[in-house]
Every structure is written in structure tokens, then in C-alpha cells.
Amino acid sequence: MIRSIQTLFAFLMLTTLTVLPAAAGQPGTFAIQGEHFLLNGKPLRIMSGEMHYPRVPRAYWADRFAKMKAMGLNTLCTYVFWNAHEPRPGDFAFDGNLDIAAYVREAQKAGLYVIVRPGPYVCSEWDFGGLPSWLLAEPDIKVRCSDPRYMAASRRYIERLAKELKGLQISEGGPIIMVQLENEYGSYGNDKQYLRDLRDILVNAGFTVPLFTSDGGAQYLLESGTLPDITPVVNFGGGPEGEFGALMKFRQNIPLMCGEFWCGWFTHWSDSLWGRSDGAKQAKELEWMLTTGKSFNLYMFHGGTNFGFTAGSNHAKLFEPDVTSYDYDAPLDEAGRPTPKFYAFRDLLQKHGHGGKKLPDLPAPLPMIEIPKIMLTEHAALFSSLPAPIHMPQPQPMEYFGQEHGLVLYRTKLVGPRSGKLVITELHDFASIYINGKLIGRIDRMRGENMLEIPKGVGEGDATLDILVEAMGRVNFGDKLIDRKGITERVTLSGVTLMSWDVFPIPMNDEFLGRIHYAAGDPAQAPAFMRGSFDLKATGDTYLDMKGWKKGIVWINGQNLGRFWDAGPQERLFVPGSWLVKGKNEIVVFDIDRTGNVPLRSVTAMK
């Protein structure tokens, strides 16, 4: 009874405080004391929304933050993506869409506090869970543990990140109030020395705000995932009373917070339906957290898009790569438009989080456009655009060549067996098999496949075997996190290991694309690049309709929109209006099957 009265009293105090803005330039304090988060010495209930800067074009950050405030939230929560910031060892990028300091300042300008989740591992349905692929060039590397090579790289990253963010902590007049230690570590390992060392790296780098850990509500997850001097929070997608009960049983006299309230879900390629959640049920669960004074973070408030090759994969029984869209069934859809879930949550936040006080108005909607016809008039065959080969006795994965994403072509002359079962051991992830340039079949890791039959007569004479492997997205969660791409073991034909290979890295980056020579006229042989242009009198957001195409990638004005695949359910790629220009716009499509001069169109809806 006493605890109930104390909780109610704290809740009444909190409802008067959560509307306070993050005062720009005014140094303050944030602390964790007993059952409360304290902002400048007074209790604060954190009402947060998750949004990630690489998934939202920089031109739209302010728009999304204004909508976050209009829904009644007071805090932005964001991961930091190590592999985006350090694509090569020691080579850091913090500009453009990766300018996280500008992102944090923009949030503060909107009146939001900020929670930073720097990992090093973040999961987030992101390639390799945010870890850089170059770690995998070490054949025996261990990650998310005390492996000294991993720890040295993590230290370099965190120390460099601190230079961007430590001056934006609340004590320096910035909006950052908390920093997360690792991410759901209890679901992966139990190396307490790793957590202690990582804590010390964060503190010594200059992060002085409170640290916290975030795990599922099971006791063993909490026990493995946190430290005695770090505040734990719980993640869940339903049943908040039980999850908070587990947290209270594990640790007493702490603030109760849901670090990730999964108000939607993600989608894999070949799923029969888009990831969705029960909005009415979630509204009731959010209302329960609001009326009992809990802090929370909506994951996601706005998901955005896995542009380029950033989408990750899961791997339980089978390999499951994620689609390009990260719409997540969030309160804001992929294009940043409010959904019915937005308005349902907004009503609850206004009533229970702000005491009925009117919330800010939504900003004006951003324009949407349709492009009725886009022609692709120039072509280039992939096999005519290859770089110089690397010769080796056995295939190796792309990370051993310093390649981060894209495709790899493995080529060899058939000597000995010319037919029978072709087996690719540990193929990662999608292979197209050619003999003398003719497609004979495909092998898909998603289906658990690793072989196909080469018929007699196909490989006779002076035959060349080509295996074109596309990397779909490194595993981002679970015990199969070490996920190198390409042919990671060996290739056999009729039981004989094939030797003497030429390997052609195809990173699909700006440097590679800049060397492609296009020609007009007859379509090139697949796989092929196709290029065209379209003119606009006005710009706006749109969705490129890829229905009828097979599998590939699209670039507009040099920006990689991401992958398409007729495996579905995604058939349309989001095109931000901020990436379009008035006048002439260029488009490039790569497809493993289609080559014809087929028009494209764009529409205003995701599906």
C-alpha cells in the first residue's frame, strides 16, 4: 500500500514535468536515484520514441522530430551504427546523413532529450548488428566478448564517437541524458569482464551521464546482460505487467522503464505478409504504462528505410534476410506520414502523459508525387564490367578481399568431372550458376539449399563455371552472428573439390559503378545494369514500383535505394523527395534476369 501511494505521488509529479523542453545551451543534471530518473533534481518520466538517422534522410530529421513532439513524446532514442561510421579500420565518417552530432542538436532544437545507444553491437535488423564487416577479415575473430582484437577496435570507435557527442551531454548544455551499455547482451553472452571493460571505455572516453542496459524480462537475460552498478531496463512487445514484474524481482529500488516497447515488427523477404502488430492491444499496454507512471521507449516511432545494403538478417532454423523497408508498422509510416496508431497513441499521451494539455500541431504534410513513366534506354552487362580477378586455389569470402557488400563472381575451368551434383558448402547467400555464360540454375540459402545438378553434356569440352554470389545481409541477432559472405567453405562437383579459381569482387559501390560503360540499342545479356532518366517539374516523396522485375538494386541520382526481389512481400522502394531534383534525374537498375527496355513508374503508396 505504501509503495502504491508513493508511486501515485511520483506519477502526479511526473505528469507536470514531462512537457518541459530540453533547454538548449543551459547546463543541467540528470541522475538515477532510487525509483526515479531525476532531471535537475526533480522526477522525470521518460516518454521516448526510437528513430535512426541513417534510415531517414537528413532533410527530414526536423519534420520527424516535430511529429515526435506532436505525439507527446519528450525524448529521442537512437542507436549509433559503428559500421556506418567506420567502414574501414580507422577511417571515420561523421558527415551528411551520418552527422550524429547534428542529429542530436536537431532533436534538442525540437525540445527533445536524447538517449544514445552506441553498442558497439546494436542488432536493429541492421547488417551485422552494426558491427563492421572488416572484423571478419580475421579468420578466428570473436565478437561481443573480451577478444583483445575486438576490444581494441571497439575502444577506437567509442573514443572517436565521444569526440562527436560528449559535448552534447546535459551537463554541457546538450540534450543527452543517458547512454546504453551494449545491447540485449543477455541474449548473446555472459562475459562480465567484457561488460566491465566496455563500461570503463565509455566512461574514460567522456560519457558522464548515467549508463543503462536493456534486455528481455527473463531472469537469465537480465542476469547475463547487466552489471550491479548499471541500471537495467526491459524490452518487450506485450504483457508489460509480467515484464516489469520480472524486472522488479531481479533488481529493487530502480526506475521502471521499458527500453523497447515493440509497437510494430519487421519483415523478411518471402514472408507471406508484412510485419504487423495489434494496435488496439498495444494502445491498452501503453495506457497501462502511462497510468502506472512507467517510463518507456516506443520501438519504432519511425522506422524509415534500410537504404543501400544496410538491412540485416535473422537465422534461426533458416536464413531470413530483411526487406529494404523498415516501415515497422510504426506510428509514422516509411514516408513519415502519421498512421492510425499515431493518433491512438497521441490521444493516450495527451490524456495520461500531459494531463489533457493540448499538444503541438503536426507540421504540414510533405508532398507526394507520381511519375507515370521512366524509360531505361542504356545497358551494360555485368560480365562485361568485371574488375581484374584475384587468383587463388580455393574460394574465399568477400571480407578477405576487404569487400563490405555487393556480389562476388567465382570462376574456374572444369577439369575432371563435368556433370553431377554441384555442392557449395556454406553458401552465403544467393548464387546464380553459369556454364559458358549460360544460366543453369540458382541456389538460395534462404531455402536451405546448397546444391544443384549439372546435366551431362552441359559442361563438356573447354567449359567455364561461373558462380555469382549475392550477399543479402549479415545476421544481426543470435549465435550465428559471424556471417561472412560469398563462398565461405568450398565447391565440389561429383564429390571432387574444385580448385584454381579467379575471384572478381563486385562491391556495387560508387567506384565500381563509375567504371561501367553503357551503350544504347539492344539490351545487354543478364545480369545487367540499365540506365535512364526522367524530368520533374516538382519534387516529392514517391515509391518506385518494381513489380515484374526479378532481383536487384536501384540507384537514383547516385543514391542507393536498396534491394528489390520478386520473393516479396515488398514490391515498391521508397524514394525520398529530398534525393530528387527539378529537371533531369538519373536512374540505374541492376537486375539478375531482366534486361529489356521496360518502363518503370512510381506511386504514392507503399503497397
| Residues known to be catalytic | 184, 260
| Cell 572517436 -> residue | 160
Q: How far apart are CA 107 and CA 101, in angstroms?
A: 10
Those residues with Cβ within 8 angstroms of residue 519's Cβ, 6 or more apart along the chain or in another chain: 378, 379, 380
Which residue type sits at 200? D
Q: Are strands 295-299 and 542-545 parallel, antiparallel or unpaired?
A: unpaired
Neighbours of 165 (CB within 10 A): 22
Q: Is the dihedral of CA 445, 451, 452, 457 positive or negative?
A: positive
Assess contact for 167 and 515: CB atoms under 8 A: no
Neighbours of 310 (CB within 10 A): 26
Which residue type sits at 449? E
- Residue positions counted in the chain: 607
Side-by-side strand order, sheet with 583-591? 519-520, 375-381, 528-536, 583-591, 551-556, 559-565
| Cell 514490391 -> residue | 571
User: Helix, strand, or coil here: 320?
Assistant: strand
**In this structure, what DSSP letter does residue 324 have?**
S
Phi-psi region of 473 (alpha: psi -120 to 50; beta: other; left: phi over 0): left
